[in-house]
Amino acid sequence: MLDARMTGEVRRRAALRRDLLPMPAIVIADRPAWRKCARPVDNRCEDSRMRGQATVLHLDLDAFFAAVEQRDKPSLRGKAVVVGGVGPRGVVATASYEARRHGVRSAMPMSEARSRCPQAAFLSPRFEAYRRSSEVLMTRLRQLSPLVEPLSLDEAYVDLEHLTDVAGGDIRDVGRLAGDLRADITRLTGGLTASVGVGTSKLVAKIASDLAKPDGCVTVAPGTEQELIRPMGVGVIPGVGPATAERLRRIGVHTVAELEAVPPRELVQLLGAAVGQTLARLARADDDRPVVPERETKSVSVEDTFETDLVDAALLTAVVDRMSARVAERLSRERLSGRTVTLKVRRHDFGTHTRSVTLAGPTDDSRVIARLARGLLRDVDASDGIRLLGVGVSGLADWIQDDLFQEVEELPVLVDDRSERRDEQRRHGRWWPGSDLWHTEHGAGWVWGAGSGRVTVRFETATTPAGPVRTFAADDPALSAAPPAGPIASQS
């Protein structure tokens, strides 16, 4: 968790500047004023290939899923919105800032979110709409630099080192560039906002963008990185989740400064060679990871076609476990990890379906992959036989962000993307809250709620005022599932 005093000061400055300036504020963290201390000692390794200028940019769209829903649904603007699994075991994928004020956060059980903020609109994800906005974002980033490393639909690193606009190393030039970028993204996406951090490394840029949230920019001047991160909690370092933080707490380590003071050999003894050595470097802001624009391997998967169709659930589960182990082995061998686990199923009639779930951070743990794949398998009707089964991992990264010591069952699944959901709605008259539909008389709308054979629809789109609400029979032939009707739909 970020140090509350630092976060509060950055946000206070950003709020003050937003009150004074017509454009979104740019906060430049050059010798942070909130911490009066001696010039920091640079403890980074002598052979480190750290950059001398702030040329790594990290951009993250603010409350992305919820913001898209508010953009496309005028009646929800300015109100609490929670997106995630709406079933009894669902979890929150994203909460709007209005919902966060009530304590709702990502990875929280949806049942707890409902009790904390019962007045919120609880919606299931609309991935088609999110992907369209993501495509606009990534296209704009690649216009800025050919070196763009997407981390997810709404988040990416950008390498600015080659740009003549920032070649002189003046962080004010970088700040102006970031401000123009954020304004362009808001215009191109129909109103979405982004938080941007710029620093000499991926680590510092990511921390800076967290400090900038929401809708701000923090640029960290070269030479101030250690001074910035030392007062922060150890949780700002990738890979340090609650369980690892607890292990560090037991040896008296709560902040990055305290972690920096621990000899690397002690961290290795406590956490293992790979993690211990990595944390020792990052605690000194020593991070020379490059921005990787394209990966030869975009996913790692294993699949098998069976000689005879399989119907036995136990046998199918054993196959999934074996495939998960093979996928994890390949990830480990290639030093990769991934956020999205996909199950591929081909039925007896050659119909092929995929289902996927997405974690908060990338993993290469075979236990995690197997748990998620088994969960997807439980939703598959195998009574008529399965011809082919496959397990894959995508959303790859060269950095494992989940907590090494967290229990496998505790790892949060943020998104459950069932790709055939729209077809199921057409066939069975099942409607998910928030999903797009079309009525032959009233036009485009979205599902306000459904149950007991009825579906309630609000007829509005991103380009209309807040619309009326009407209720129909769930199997009304005038209703059909529809693609998103957002402001950038025509660009896809």
Q: Can you identify the CATH homologous superfamily of domain 1-232?
A: Reverse transcriptase/Diguanylate cyclase domain (3.30.70.270)
Q: Output the six-digit token pair for 427.
A: 């066939």
Once rounded to an integer, what is the mean pLDDT over residues 388-392? 93
Topology classification of domain 299-397: Dna Ligase; domain 1 (3.30.1490)
Taking the whole predicted model, whether its pTM rises above 0.75 is answered as no
pLDDT at 440 over 60: yes
pLDDT, tens digit, 9 for 90 and up, residues 12-30: 444 433 333 333 333 444 3
Task: Tell me which of 24 and 51 has the higher pLDDT.
Answer: 51
pLDDT for the residue 36 = 30
pLDDT at 410 over 50: no
- Residue 285 is classified by DSSP as T
pLDDT, tens digit, 9 for 90 and up, residues 164-213: 666 565 667 888 899 999 999 999 999 999 999 999 999 999 999 999 99
Q: What percent of the chain has pLDDT over 90?
A: 51
Task: Tell me which of 106 and 405 has the higher pLDDT.
Answer: 106
| Annotated active-site residue in 155, 225, 227, 460 | 155
Q: What percent of the chain has pLDDT over 70?
A: 79
pLDDT, tens digit, 9 for 90 and up, residues 162-172: 886 665 656 67
What is the per-residue burial (b if ≥16 Cβ within 10 Å, else e) of 236-247?
A: bbbbbbeebbee
Q: How are beta strands 443-451 and 121-123 bridged, if at all?
A: unpaired
The per-residue pLDDT of the chain, averaged, comes to 81
pLDDT for the residue 109 = 86
Contact between residue 468 and residue 160 where contact means Cβ atoms under 8 Å apart = no
Q: Give catalytic status of residue 420 as yes or no.
A: no
pLDDT for the residue 118 = 97
Output the CATH code of domain 234-282: 1.10.150
DSSP string, 58-119: EEEETTHHHHHHHHH-GGGTTS-EEEE--STT-BEEEE-HHHHTTT--TT-BHHHHHHH-TT
Once rounded to an integer, what is the mean pLDDT over residues 353-381? 87
